[in-house]
């Protein structure tokens, strides 16, 4: 069947909504990356198996939905029961029978499985009341956990393809660009460039062929929201691209998905086939005569290919070395044709803006930073997972209210945002508004949205060294300031972390950073020194402790620390002895153990193994 008019789309949806009403209960099993890793596939299978055998009024096997990421990954695997909005955490296969009996056939809540507040230990049964969800506004992530990613009917039922229908049937391309410009939608890939202006300049270039490209490369270590959207709500990306292609006049679209996300490729491919089948993609979309073919390109594992000019070269089958951008890609992009390149999250916002209007969108967020931003909140925070908040939300709210504070209630040290191009913010920044402009003013950036929380056991010199080592291996090597400059910066950072650094080294690094920023061609090099620059400006004391006192205050840098067992706390359980690979720990059962400092390689395995917190780091 093909949908060829607005009325047909409306009728089709009505049919789906009516059918859905017959389901009195729905079991939403999270199939996001976190839950899949902890066995959610077996759980959904078990639900299907048991429901097939049991007869419960109004509940068939169709009630089991394999949804995208519920986002509260810390508590995975997650199962939600609709419409009661009950959230079950850390579900096991053996819990399935009880859930069916009590919460699906009946209306009982199983208290053991719901979220418990870590401070008051109070049980919170429904997810809108869980603090992790309470302070969020989910636009780009709106459908994650609510629909089956591989079912276009589910997407249409919740209003999917409405934005595309409105744009194609009731608006001109100019109207669409106007609306996006007025909404002040800025690129969610991190650059923050206004999408409307990008689309307008692409349309203005005279050409017979234009392209729309979706950047699904997401190479930033510590970020995974684009992955969750592509895997859990692929149609929203397609719909956003249809609107963009219509606005700029493109008939071919490319989605560049990174190699590490095979499930995203599968789900996007399915989504393309389903949308083409219904006439919502492909030739003659919605009977309007407008056509768009979307192709998927798999990346091949190069961080630099997230950069626009490198990405386009890679789509065309070349080595992804960025080029100088004196001519923008909206003029000369893919195969030298005008190209609009946006990131996954940007496209996910587009259908909503078209449906609800620019004014609605600008009413959310902060001045000049309309809308929301999705983040992956990870690191030493209690509630790791994906979140989406209005721009302008403070870091404090994100880390302490949504994130539930730090693991083991350790002291907060900082938050790293923006990946290798971003920087580390300190405690004094906790009340800053999180938006494109504020973060940039304070030496960090939004980036693609990784937010890595750090406690007093994270060493900032080590973090800088870590990012530099990442960038050294990911630099494409085309221009010397990036290739050689980052290498030297890394070498100096190693020297400091090993206690061989001098204060002159810090000056050298600062000067070198300036040159790398000035002399590099693309964003990788231009922002490469940021992790160093932001840690040196916010945590200089920590660098000086390494240099002057040969001490790593966080107890991380191996050359400067020693492990010692506190005989008062050690109960002689021998866990550390069996964990130690180099046999550096000796002792008898029930007697305090001792570490032989000469043999110890400071790998930290004993600390991880000790259940009594008896091993101290100096």
Partner 1 sequence: MKHDLAKVPEIIGRYPQQPSSLIMVLQDIQKEFSFLPCEALEQTAKSLGVPLSKVFSVSTFYNAFSLNKKGDTVVRVCIGTACHIRGARQIQEQMETALKIKAGETTADGKFTLEVVGCVGACAMAPVVMTNERYHPQCKVNTVKKLVAKR
- The answer to whether 456 contacts partner 1 (rule: CB under 8 A) is no
The helix (run of H) or strand (run of E) holding residue 417 is strand 412-417
For every residue of 219-282, DSSP letters joined together read --TT--HHHHHHHH-HHHHHHHHHHHHHHHT-SEEEEEE-TT-HHHHHHHHHHHHHHHHTTSSB
Closest CB to partner 1 among residues 353, 585: 585
Binding segment for partner 1 (CB under 8 A), chosen from 2-10, 92-100, 167-175, 462-470, is 462-470
Of positions 88, 303, 347, 532, contacts partner 1 by CB under 8 A: 303
* Nearest partner of 189 among 34, 413, 28, 421, judged by Cα: 421
Tabulate helix, strand, coil % of the chain (nearest 5): 45, 15, 40
180 binds partner 1 (CB under 8 A): no
Select the span of 152-160, 240-248, 300-308, 496-504 touching partner 1 (CB under 8 A).
Answer: 300-308
Q: Residue 390 — φ and ψ, nearest 5°?
A: -60, 145
Residue 582 Cβ vs partner 1, minimum distance, rounded to whole Å = 9
**DSSP per-residue string spanning 114-180:** SEE-TTT--EE-BGGGSHHHHT---STTTTTTTSBTT-HHHHHHTTTTHHHHHHHHH--HHHHHHHH
* Contact status: 298 vs partner 1 (CB under 8 A): yes
**Of 98-106, 111-119, 296-304, 500-508: span binding partner 1 (CB under 8 A):** 296-304
- As beta bridge partners, residue 414 has 426, 454
Residue 583: helix, strand or coil by DSSP?
coil
How far is residue 349's CA from residue 240's CA, in Å, rounded to a whole number?
Answer: 7
- Which tokens in the block code for residue 328? 């923008």
DSSP letters, 493-517, are HHHHHTT---HHHHHHHHHHHHHHH
Contact 189, 448 (CB under 8 A): yes
Can you tell me which of 159, 194, 357, 604 binds partner 1, judged by CB under 8 A? 604
Binder of partner 1 out of 220, 233, 307, 435 (CB under 8 A): 220
| 609 binds partner 1 per the rule CB under 8 A | yes
Q: How far is the CB of 534 from partner 1 (least distance, A)?
A: 14
Round to whole Å and give the CA distance between 36 and 70: 12
- Please tell me what DSSP assigns to residue 61: G
Minimum CB–partner distance for residue 256 and partner 1 (Å): 11
H runs (alpha helix) in 3-86: 6-21, 33-37, 40-53
Choose one: 42-50, 80-88, 101-109, 214-222; the region binding partner 1 (CB under 8 A).
214-222
Q: Which of 61, 300, 327, 616 binds partner 1 (CB under 8 A)?
A: 300
Candidates 33-41, 49-57, 159-167, 490-498 — which segment interacts with partner 1 by CB under 8 A? 33-41
Given a contact cutoff of 8 angstroms between Cβ atoms, the answer to whether 209 and 242 are in contact is no
Considering CB under 8 A, how many residues would be counted as binding partner 1?
Answer: 63
Q: Given the complex with partner 1, which of 105 and 607 has the nearer CB atom? A: 607
Considering the complex, what minimum distance in angstroms separates the CB of residue 288 from partner 1? 29
Query: Which CB atom, from 38 or from 349, has the smaller least distance to partner 1?
Result: 38
Task: Note whether 218 binds partner 1 by CB under 8 A.
Answer: yes
450 binds partner 1 per the rule CB under 8 A: yes
Determine which residue in the list 146, 227, 490, 546 makes contact with partner 1, applying CB under 8 A. 227
Within 388-417, the residues that bind partner 1 by CB under 8 A are 416
CA–CA separation, 280 and 286 (whole Å): 6
Is beta strand 339-343 parallel, antiparallel or unpaired with respect to 211-216?
parallel
Choose, by CB under 8 A, the member of 379, 390, 525, 529 that binds partner 1.
379
Residues 495-514 that bind partner 1 (CB under 8 A): none
Please answer whether residues 451 and 373 qualify as being in contact, where contact means their C-beta atoms are separated by less than 8 angstroms: no
d(CA 248, CA 205): 10
Stretch that binds partner 1, among 34-42, 189-197, 394-402, 514-522 (CB under 8 A): 34-42
Instruction: Report d(CA 192, CA 244) in Å as an integer.
Output: 17
Please name the helix (run of DSSP H) or strand (run of DSSP E) that holds residue 465, with its range, or none. Answer: helix 460-474
Pick the binder of partner 1 from 85, 291, 318, 562 (CB under 8 A): 318
By beta-carbon proximity to partner 1, the closer residue of 3 and 476 is 476
Query: Pattern 109-148, binding to partner 1, x per CB under 8 A?
Result: ----------------------------------------
Token output for 244: 């963009």
Q: Is 382 in the site for partner 1 (CB under 8 A)?
A: no
Stretch that binds partner 1, among 217-225, 392-400, 534-542, 563-571 (CB under 8 A): 217-225
CB of 3 to partner 1, least distance (A): 31
User: Bridge partners of 370?
Assistant: 365
Smallest separation (angstroms) from partner 1 to the CB of 315: 8
Contacting residue, 302, 472, 482, 614, with partner 1 by CB under 8 A? 302
Cα distances from 582 to residues 77, 575, 577, 617, in angstroms, run: 36, 14, 10, 18
Going by C-beta distance under 8 Å and a sequence separation of 6 or more, which residues neighbour residue 423?
Answer: 416, 417, 443, 444, 445, 530, 531, 533, 534, 535
> Nearest approach, Cβ of 314 to partner 1 (angstroms)?
7
Site residues (CB under 8 A) for partner 1, limited to 52-71 = none
220 vs 345, beta carbon nearer partner 1: 220
Binding letters toward partner 1, positions 239-278, x by CB under 8 A: -------------------xxxxx----------------
Q: Cα(227)–Cα(31) distance, rounded to whole angstroms? A: 12
Smallest distance from partner 1 to CB 219, Å: 7
The site for partner 1 (CB under 8 A) is made up of 33-34, 36-38, 73-74, 76, 218-224, 227, 258-262, 297-303, 314-320, 376-380, 384-386, 416, 419, 450, 452, 454, 458, 463, 466-467, 470, 473-474, 476, 579, 581, 603-605, 608-609
């Amino acid at each position: 069947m093909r949908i060829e008019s607005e009325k047909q789309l409306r009728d089709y949806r009505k049919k789906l909504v009516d059918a859905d009403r017959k389901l009195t209960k729905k079991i939403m099993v999270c199939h996001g990356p976190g839950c899949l890793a902890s066995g959610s596939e077996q759980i959904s299978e078990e639900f299907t198996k048991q429901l097939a055998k049991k007869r419960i009024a109004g509940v068939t096997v169709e009630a089991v939905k394999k949804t995208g990421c519920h986002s509260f990954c810390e508590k995975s695997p997650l199962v939600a029961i609709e419409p009661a909005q009950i959230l079950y955490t850390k579900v096991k296969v053996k819990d399935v029978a009880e859930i069916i009996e009590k919460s699906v056939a009946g209306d009982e809540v199983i208290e053991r499985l719901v979220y418990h507040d870590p401070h008051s230990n109070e049980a919170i049964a429904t997810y809108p009341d869980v603090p992790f969800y309470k302070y969020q506004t989910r636009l780009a992530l709106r459908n994650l956990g609510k629909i089956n990613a591989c079912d276009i009917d589910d997407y249409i039922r919740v209003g999917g393809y409405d934005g595309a229908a409105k744009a194609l049937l009731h608006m001109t391309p100019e109207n669409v660009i106007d609306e996006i410009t007025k909404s002040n939608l800025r690129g969610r890939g991190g650059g923050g460039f206004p999408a409307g202006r990008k689309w307008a300049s692409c349309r203005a270039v005279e050409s017979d062929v234009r392209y729309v490209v979706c950047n699904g490369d997401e190479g930033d270590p510590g970020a995974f929201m684009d992955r969750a959207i592509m895997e859990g709500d692929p149609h929203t990306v397609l719909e956003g691209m249809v609107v963009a292609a219509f606005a700029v006049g493109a008939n071919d679209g490319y989605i560049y998905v990174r190699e590490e996300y095979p499930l995203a490729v599968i789900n996007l491919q399915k989504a393309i086939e389903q949308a083409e089948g219904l006439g919502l993609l492909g030739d003659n979309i919605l009977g309007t005569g407008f056509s768009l073919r979307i192709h998927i390109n798999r990346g091949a594992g190069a961080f630099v290919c997230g950069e626009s000019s490198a990405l386009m070269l890679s789509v065309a089958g070349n080595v992804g070395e960025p080029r100088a951008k004196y001519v923008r890609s909206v003029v000369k992009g893919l195969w030298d044709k005008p190209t609009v390149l946006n990131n996954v999250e940007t496209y996910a916002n587009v259908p909503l803006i078209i449906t609800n209007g620019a004014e609605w969108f600008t009413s959310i967020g902060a001045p000049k930073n309309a809308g929301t931003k999705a983040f992956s909140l990870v690191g030493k925070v209690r509630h790791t997972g994906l979140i989406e908040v209005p721009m302008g939300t403070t870091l404090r709210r994100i880390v302490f209210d949504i994130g539930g504070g730090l693991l083991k209630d350790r002291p907060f040290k900082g938050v790293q945002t923006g990946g290798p191009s971003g920087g580390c913010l300190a405690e004094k920044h906790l009340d800053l508004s999180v938006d494109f402009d504020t973060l940039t003013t304070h030496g960090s950036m939004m980036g693609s949205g990784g937010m890595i929380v750090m406690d007093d056991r994270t060493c900032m010199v080590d973090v800088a060294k870590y990012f530099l080592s990442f960038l050294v291996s990911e630099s494409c090597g085309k221009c010397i300031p990036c290739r050689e400059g980052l290498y030297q910066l890394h070498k100096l950072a190693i020297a400091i972390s090993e206690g061989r650094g001098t204060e002159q080294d810090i000056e050298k690094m600062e000067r070198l950073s300036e040159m790398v920023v000035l002399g590099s061609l693309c964003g990788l090099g231009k922002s490469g020194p940021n992790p160093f620059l932001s840690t040196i400006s916010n945590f200089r004391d920590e660098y000086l402790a390494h240099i002057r006192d040969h001490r790593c205050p966080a107890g991380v840098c191996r050359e400067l620390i020693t492990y010692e067992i506190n005989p008062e706390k050690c109960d002689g359980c021998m866990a550390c002895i069996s964990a130690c690979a180099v046999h550096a720990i000796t002792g008898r059962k029930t007697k305090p153990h001792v570490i032989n400092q000469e043999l110890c390689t400071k790998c930290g395995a004993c600390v991880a193994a000790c259940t009594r917190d008896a091993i101290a780091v100096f």
